[in-house]
């Protein structure tokens, strides 16, 4: 009898300890769940912020490239209006196939069969691009607008190259009757523009064919 009483007393003493251990286990599990939920929420918020920032960078780069395309078209229209006479004329000469011209003709290129285009390096965000094409505004005079404090926008001028797709002698399209029915067609150009966001690694590449 006495032995049974001792066992019962030991069992009763162990019950509070077991209840305390169970409570600690439950509390620890809840804390772990709260910590995991908080970490997941923070990760989601940071991911959403990064996605939003990247989308903004892409939009800036796209708009910059779009502006460069329009500037290149204006460049060509000004050059066609000025004519091809004189060494300083924009359309007085064309470079050899696969190369780009310099001087007054910089930014004007000729593609070559079997060779990558001159703007091929623009497809790689880690390749330098300062030597390819020309900055928007080089011949038209446009410049980046002054941005108020806190307003996001492009920090560097976009660039473009103009490739001649219509193989005719320089200035031939400026002669009387050029482009008339039964004669030569009008010249065709391919314009490729590169825009960058505030982060230079975020780029947008746009291309169009232009026929004045």
pLDDT tens digit sequence for 73-115: 999 988 887 766 665 678 777 788 888 888 888 899 988 888 8
Q: Tens digit of pLDDT for each residue in 144-175?
A: 766 556 555 667 889 999 998 866 655 454 44
What are the residues facing 135 on neighbouring strands? 159
Q: Which tokens hold the place of 154?
A: 């492009």
Q: Are 187 and 173 in contact (CB under 8 A)?
A: yes
The reported pTM is 0.67
pLDDT (0 to 100) of residue 7:
44
The residue written with tokens 């939920």 in the block is 37
Region of 63 on the Ramachandran plot (φ > 0 left; ψ -120 to 50 alpha; else beta): alpha
Distance, CA of 210 to CA of 212 (rounded, Å): 6
| Burial (CB count <10 Å: 0-12, 13-18, 19+), residue 10 | exposed
Longest distance between any two alpha carbons in the chain, whole Å: 129
Q: Tens digit of pLDDT for each residue in 109-146?
A: 988 888 888 888 888 765 555 678 899 999 998 877 66
**Helix, coil or strand: residue 152:** coil
What's the Cα-to-Cα distance from 210 to each of 42, 76, 107, 158, 166, rounded to whole Å?
49, 9, 15, 19, 11
The residue written with tokens 């804390």 in the block is 31
Q: Tens digit of pLDDT for each residue in 33-43?
A: 766 667 666 65
Among candidates 142, 120, 129, which has minimal Cα distance to 73? 142
Q: How many CB atoms lie within 10 A of CB 44?
A: 10
What residue ranges do the domains of the chain occupy?
58-210
């Amino acid at each position: 009898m006495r032995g049974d009483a001792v066992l019962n007393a030991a069992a009763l003493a162990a019950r509070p300890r077991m209840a305390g251990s169970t409570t600690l286990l439950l509390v620890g599990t809840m804390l772990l769940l709260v910590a995991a939920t908080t970490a997941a929420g923070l990760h989601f918020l940071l991911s959403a912020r990064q996605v939003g920032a990247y989308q903004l960078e892409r939009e800036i780069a796209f708009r910059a490239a779009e502006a460069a395309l329009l500037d290149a078209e204006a460049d060509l229209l000004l050059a066609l209006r000025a004519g091809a006479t004189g060494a300083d004329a924009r359309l007085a000469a064309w470079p050899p196939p696969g190369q780009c011209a310099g001087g007054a003709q910089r930014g004007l290129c000729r593609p070559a069969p079997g060779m990558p285009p001159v703007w091929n390096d623009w497809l790689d965000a880690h390749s330098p691009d300062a030597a390819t094409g020309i900055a928007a505004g080089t011949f038209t005079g446009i410049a980046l607008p002054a941005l108020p404090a806190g307003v996001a926008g492009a920090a560097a001028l976009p660039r473009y190259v103009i490739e001649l797709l219509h193989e005719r002698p320089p200035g031939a399209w400026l002669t009387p009757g050029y482009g008339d029915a039964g004669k030569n067609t009008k010249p065709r150009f391919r314009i490729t523009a590169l825009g960058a966001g505030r982060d230079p690694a975020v780029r947008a590449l746009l291309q169009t064919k232009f026929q004045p």
